[in-house]
Amino acid sequence: MNNLLSNIKIEVPSGTYLKDPESSTLGKKILTHSIILIDEMGFESFNFKKLGAAIQSNESSIYRYFESKHKLLVYLTSWYWGWLEYQLVIETYSLTSIEDKLKKAIEVLTRTTKNDNTYTHINEVLLNIIVINENSKSYLTKDVDDDNKEGFFMPYKRVVKRFSELISEYQPDYDYPLSLASTVIQSALHQQFVKDHFKTISNFDKQHTPTQFFTDLVLNALTYGK
Amino acid sequence: MNNLLSNIKIEVPSGTYLKDPESSTLGKKILTHSIILIDEMGFESFNFKKLGAAIQSNESSIYRYFESKHKLLVYLTSWYWGWLEYQLVIETYSLTSIEDKLKKAIEVLTRTTKNDNTYTHINEVLLNIIVINENSKSYLTKDVDDDNKEGFFMPYKRVVKRFSELISEYQPDYDYPLSLASTVIQSALHQQFVKDHFKTISNFDKQHTPTQFFTDLVLNALTYGK
DNA sequence: AACGAAATGATAGTAATACTATTATATTTG
DNA sequence: CAAATATAATAGTATTACTATCATTTCGTT
């Protein structure tokens, strides 16, 4: 994807940051290198002291942008879902047949992420790996309901809703458009993890891709009712 | 389920514990109350000091059974998968038609958990809630591959494999039996979470259950090929 | 170039965590 | 009843995830 739509800023829930990291070079460095570090060492081992060292800045300066490492994780995952919603919209918009739209949507949601040069300070491929490995930690907490009220998970829920609307448009009689949408989106992440770490329970290889699997699953579910 | 098969011990990977908690009253108290506490406060806030206080025992004594709270979590989730495998086997065994077996398996894997009085020191309903909220934390770590080599995730993988075998028996031509199996098992947990915390992206209510949703999904995927 | 404000950096400190190590006291077993 | 084993008590440690305070640098405006 090249700069068809440059300068589009991905919107992230404002409660996740104290100072907008997109508004300064230090902020952008925090984003760039937190992605690299979390990918390298995992979210548990990652902390603001290590991040400070990596960007030759100070722990205390990072706390001016994010009040906790949890909120930084929520920021990063929200950014990812916002970005993915964008991909979904622009790649399906011009298609005229609803079947093509649906198939394209499944492709966007289940394919391996490619880098998008529009956002130079964010490595989308690494961010996708972080989302695979750490996304669920952003909501599997005792504070989910509070965080949810603050709108932290809106970007994720918007992706689910958009996809479910395509499902309903393709098959208005289907009873579970939202559940099917969130199953595909969530399971696509899980299946990537399984493929890398629990190989004995995966069927994916060069010929058999998640996109193919989920496309069959969705189309069969919608084509033949119950 | 009553004591049809009493005294069947659920096997848990031996590397998860230092001393078998089933072998003593203190060990059983650790299991009973760790489940209650983790459910109450979440895995992050839970620690062995609090558990010690809850069972009027000492932190140091708990460390004689489990070398870390992570391994205790792996123990508990493994126990759950081992128990679920049991339910799967005994509830499908006597059925003769493969379609009935498959449908029953989906029911066992996607229904709301009921208490099983065979294991008095384990509350399966609470344990199921823990699995919904904390299961992914047992493998989304930098040590997954080591833990996997130690066999920590065998109970989970065995459930996936058994279910995938039923899928293949029902439809030998299907290309993704393992992926479909792990999608259903994993997504069933996720959908329960979504239903409780992200209501706006759920379609479940009294009339529309996860079991119904997943049954349609699987049968359509298998009945109508691609 | 000068001034004030804002941003960043440096340093110190804190309560809690996830343990380890050691020694003491119960409890069980032969 | 002694020895072995299990459990308890206590202390200690490095690290974490921050907060607080003050110093310095950078920036925009005149």
Q: What is the pLDDT of residues A165-188, one digit of tens each?
A: 999 999 999 999 999 999 999 999
Are B33 and B55 a contacting pair, CB within 8 Å? yes
pLDDT at B52: 97
pLDDT (0 to 100) of residue A199: 97
Range of the domain at B218: 74-223
Give φ, ψ of B35 to 5 degrees.
-60, -45
With respect to residue B67, please indicate whether it lies within any of the assigned structural domains: no
In a domain, A9, yes or no: no
Is B136 contained in some domain?
yes
What residues contact residue A208 under an 8 Å CB cut-off, 6+ apart? B175, B176
A65 CA vs C6 C1’ separation (Å): 14
pLDDT value at B69 more than 50? yes
- Specify the number of domains making up chain B: 1
In a domain, B208, yes or no: yes
Residue A199 has a CB neighbour count (10 Å cut-off) of: 11
Strand C closer than 7 A to residue A47 Cβ: no
What average pLDDT is seen over chain A?
Answer: 95
DSSP conformation letters of A77-139: HHHHHHHHHHHHHHHHHT--SHHHHHHHHHHHHHSPP---TT-TT--HHHHHHHHHHHHHHHH
- Residues in B touching A45 (Cβ below 8 Å): 142
Confidence of residue A1 (pLDDT cuts 50, 70, 90): very low
Split at pLDDT 50, 70, 90, the class of A2 is very low
Are A78 and A16 in contact by the 8 Å Cβ rule? The answer is yes
Q: Separation of CA B129 and C1' C25 in angstroms?
A: 39
The enclosing domain of A101 has a CATH number of 1.10.357.10
- 8 A C-beta contact, residue A74 and residue A147: yes
Strand D atom within 7 Å of B25 CB = yes
Give the residue-averaged pLDDT of A100-124.
95
What pLDDT shows up at residue A99? 97
From CA A37, how far away is CA B45, in angstroms rounded? 25
Residue A31 lies in a domain: yes
Measure the CA–CA gap between A183 and B188, rounded to whole angstroms.
Answer: 9
Among B133, B142, B178, the residue with its CB nearest the CB of A202 is B178
The pLDDT confidence band at residue B8, using thresholds 50, 70 and 90, is confident
Q: Are A19 and A47 in contact, with CB atoms under 8 Å apart?
A: no
> Residues B15-31: pLDDT tens digits?
999 999 999 999 999 99
Please say if the pLDDT value at position A10 is more than 80.
yes
For the cut 80, the answer to whether the pLDDT of residue B5 exceeds it is no
- Give me the mean pLDDT over the A148-163 stretch: 98
pLDDT above 70 covers what percent of chain B?
Answer: 96
Please tell me the least confidently modeled range out of A102-106, A117-121, B122-126, B165-169.
A117-121
Interface residues 40-59 of B with strand D (CB < 7 Å): 56-59
Q: Which residues contact B29 (CB under 8 A, 6 or more apart)?
A: B55, B57, B121
The verdict on residue A3 lying in a domain is no
Question: Straight-line distance from CA A46 to C1' C12, in Å?
Answer: 22
Q: Under 8 Å CB-to-CB from B120, ≥6 apart: which residues?
A: none
pLDDT band at B2, cuts 50/70/90? very low
Give yes or no for residue B3 having a pLDDT over 60: no
The answer to whether residue A4 sits within a structural domain is no
In this structure, are residues A18 and A65 in contact, taking their beta carbons and an 8 Å threshold? yes
Give the pLDDT score at B225. 52
Confidence label for A225 from pLDDT (cuts 50, 70 and 90): low
List the single residue in A141, A160, A203 with the smallest CB-CB distance to B201: A160
Indicate the residue of B179, B208, B226 with minimum beta-carbon distance to A191: B179
Interface residues 14-43 of A with strand C (CB < 7 Å): 19, 24-27
Residue A149 burial (C-beta neighbours within 10 Å; 0-12, 13-18, 19+): exposed
Mean pLDDT over residues A48-70, rounded?
97
Is B216's CB within 8 Å of A221's CB? yes
Integer distance in angstroms from CA B64 to C1' D7?
10
Would residue B54 count as lying in a domain? no
pLDDT of residue A108: 98
Mean pLDDT (chain B) is 95
